[in-house]
Amino acid sequence: MFSVRLTEIALPTSEREIDNLVGWFIDTLCLVRKRGEATADQGRAGPVHRLLRDYLFAQPEVSWDAQMLADELALTPASLNHHLTRLVEAGIIGFSNEGKGWRRYFLRGGSLTNAIEFFGLQCETIVKQRMALLDSKWNRGNPNLGSEPVPTETPPLLIGIVDHRPLLSDSEESLLSQWMGDFGLLGERPGKEAHAESISVQLFELLLNRDLPLSLDEASELLDEQKPRIGRILERFRSTGMVQRVPRIDRLNIALWSAMTAQYQRRGEDWMLKKGGFQRLLNSKQQSSILSSLKKGKLKVEEVEKVGKDISSDDQMLLLNLLGGRLPLGHRMVGYTSDEVHREISSRIDRTLRRMRRVAQLLEQSMAS
């Protein structure tokens, strides 16, 4: 079964240093979990690094006996089998039972470049097939917010790609929770989060059925869960590239009303006109209307909304910034259709695959020289 975790890492700075290039592949495919002092030597003495550098990558035309590899790497057969299984599931190496004795392992396609081409085709095919599940779950439309919110910074991609398989008869998972676990939406070790009714699954279903961005306070209230945990789950969603964080344009009028009221009470009319952005962004009629209501203490959100109809969303956000207000953030799916989500995911995976092809070429050149 094809199963891999793919993460987005910048190209190595040393393009001719073999250990750096091999380490880049290991990190990109999440083949080793590094913790603490284990990273002091960048993992160069680790069994996976040595296995790839000294055997499979160094001599791609040779098939390696598992028993011989265990002896050379000073590993128990069980430990070696664990590492080889990860590499086979990732689609980088294959094995044969030809002849007598132990399995023989080899680099697919006879070269690292060919192995990456096989890997890329499998990733693209599996993602295309499995993203079809979203069609049956998708109920999100395209709300009219006046201006499309610009997403905040995007975290590096960290996504799982796993073959489809039937659910076990006694499984506590659902098709959706299994799908989420395979794509990495439930973390590296899902545990109870893989259950059909877990908080992560309920939160993802909210995003699939919600037009407006979902803020932490709303999610916490709807799911009766603490905001810190909701925040951690949403950050995990963002790392897969399926969910993005955007300004809550739909709450812009409330934020403006709050900022105007607070700053008028704090600094007065003169400050509002000169430094608060009123003279810069509002005409005389709009200025007098809002200031008159502020003087009487009767400014309402509806009046701010009425004035804002003649002002673009960008200018309203600039006014909010000049007033010292803050627009809350929310989370939403990256597209308004499941096809848009698929295109976004495929685009980011393709960027990582292009890097893998480049590093494969550099590694082959370095080893040949």
pLDDT tens for the chain, residues 1 to 369:
899 999 999 988 876 789 999 999 999 999 987 655 555 566 678 889 999 999 999 988 888 888 888 888 888 888 888 899 999 999 999 988 876 667 889 999 999 999 999 999 999 999 999 999 998 899 888 776 666 777 888 999 999 999 999 998 888 889 999 999 999 999 888 888 889 999 999 999 999 999 889 999 999 999 999 999 999 999 999 999 999 999 888 888 999 999 999 999 999 989 999 898 898 888 888 889 999 999 988 899 999 988 888 888 888 888 999 999 888 899 999 989 999 999 999 999 999 999 999 999 999 998 887
| Spatial contact of 344 and 240, defined as CB atoms under 8 Å apart | no
Structure tokens at 241: 């590239």
- Write down the pLDDT at residue 101: 66
- Write down the pLDDT at residue 271: 92
- Write down the pLDDT at residue 146: 63
CATH code 1.10.10.10 region(s) in the chain? 3-128+350-368
- Write down the pLDDT at residue 99: 64
- Write down the pLDDT at residue 93: 92
| Spatial contact of 66 and 77, defined as CB atoms under 8 Å apart | yes
Cα separation, 216 vs 101, in Å, equals 58
The string of DSSP letters for 41-85 reads: TTTTTSHHHHHIIIIITT-TT--EEHHHHHHHHT--HHHHHHHHH
The dotted CATH code for 3-128+350-368 is 1.10.10.10
Structure tokens at 64: 């390696």
Terminal CA-to-CA distance of the chain, rounded, Å? 35
Closest CA to 248 of 178, 356, 143: 143
- Write down the pLDDT at residue 147: 67
- Write down the pLDDT at residue 317: 86
Read off the DSSP letter of residue 214: B
CA angle (190, 216, 148) in 5-degree steps: 105
Structure tokens at 9: 């890492």
Cα separation, 275 vs 288, in Å, equals 16
Cα separation, 311 vs 264, in Å, equals 21
